[in-house]
Amino acid sequence: MGMMKEFKEFAMKGNVVDLAIGVIIGAAFSKIVSSLVDDVITPLLLKPALDAANLQDLDKLTIMGTVKVGVFLSATINFIIVAFILFLIVKGINRFKKKEEAAAPVTPEEVILLREIRDSLKK
C-alpha cells in the first residue's frame, strides 16, 4: 500500500497537475489553430496559389508529384501562429512579474523600531 500512497502524492503534486492541464489545453488550442489555418487563412490568403495550381485543397499542393509543399506550408503557418500567441502570453506574464518586483518591499515593524532606537542612541 505504501507505493500507492507515494504514487498518489506524486500524481497530485501541483507541477504534475499543472502540466497535465497544460497538455490538455494545448491539444485543444492546436485544433483551434489548425482550423484557423485550414478553414480561414488558407482560403483567404493562399487562394491565388491554389488557383494557379488548379487545386482546391492545400494538402494536394505538391512539387514533382511527391514533395508535399502544401502540408509543410500549413504546418509552418500553424507553428508561427502558436509561437506568436505563446510569445504574447509570456510577455503578459512577464509584465505582471515586473509590476510585482517594482513594488517596494515592506519594512518589518521591528526593523523600524530598531532603527528608531539606534537613531535615538546616537543623539
The answer to whether the beta carbons of residues 46 and 40 sit under 8 Å apart is no
**pLDDT > 70: what percent of the chain?**
87
Helix (H, G, I), strand (E, B) or coil at 63: strand
- The ranges assigned to domains in the chain are 2-122
pLDDT score of 100 more than 70: no
Q: Is the pTM of this model over 0.75?
A: no
For 1-59, what is each residue's pLDDT tens digit?
A: 688 888 777 777 767 777 788 888 888 888 888 788 777 877 777 777 777 777 766 66
* Domain at 2-122: CATH architecture: Orthogonal Bundle (1.10)
pLDDT score of 121 more than 80: yes
Give the pLDDT confidence score for residue 86 in this predicted structure. 78
Give the pLDDT confidence score for residue 98 in this predicted structure. 74
pLDDT score of 103 more than 70: no
